[in-house]
Amino acid sequence: MKPNTAELQPDNQALLEELYAEMAPKGLLPLWEALANLVTKTPKTPVVSAKWKYGDIRTHLMRAGELISAKQAERRVLVLENPGLQGTHAITSTLYAGLQLILPGEVAPCHRHAQSALRFVMEGSGAFTAIDGEKAMMEKYDLVLTPNWQWHDHGNTTDDPMIWLDGLDIPLVNHFDTSFAETLSGTDAHPESMPPGDTLSRYGKNLRPIRGSQSDRRPKHMPLFHYPYKQWHSSLTDLSNSEAPDPHFGYALEFINPSTGGAIMPTISAHVRLLPKGFETAERRSTDGSVYVVLEGSGSAMIGDVEHMLEEGDFFVVPSWHPVQIKADQDLTLFGYSDRTSQEKLNLFRDLKS
Three-state DSSP at 346 gives coil
What is residue 7's predicted lDDT score, i.e. its pLDDT? Answer: 62
What pLDDT does residue 219 have? Answer: 86
Cβ neighbourhood burial of 32 (10 Å; 0-12, 13-18, 19+): exposed
Instruction: Give the β-pairing of 134-137 and 290-296.
Output: unpaired
DSSP state of 263: B
- Are 275 and 246 in contact by the 8 Å Cβ rule? The answer is no
Please tell me the pTM assigned to this model.
Answer: 0.94
pLDDT recorded at residue 1: 45
Q: What is the model's pLDDT at position 6?
A: 54
Spatial contact of 208 and 202, defined as CB atoms under 8 Å apart: yes
Residue (of 153, 138, 154, 110) closest to 200 by Cα position = 138
According to the model, what pLDDT value does residue 2 have? Answer: 54
- Identify the segments of the chain with pLDDT beneath 70: 1-8
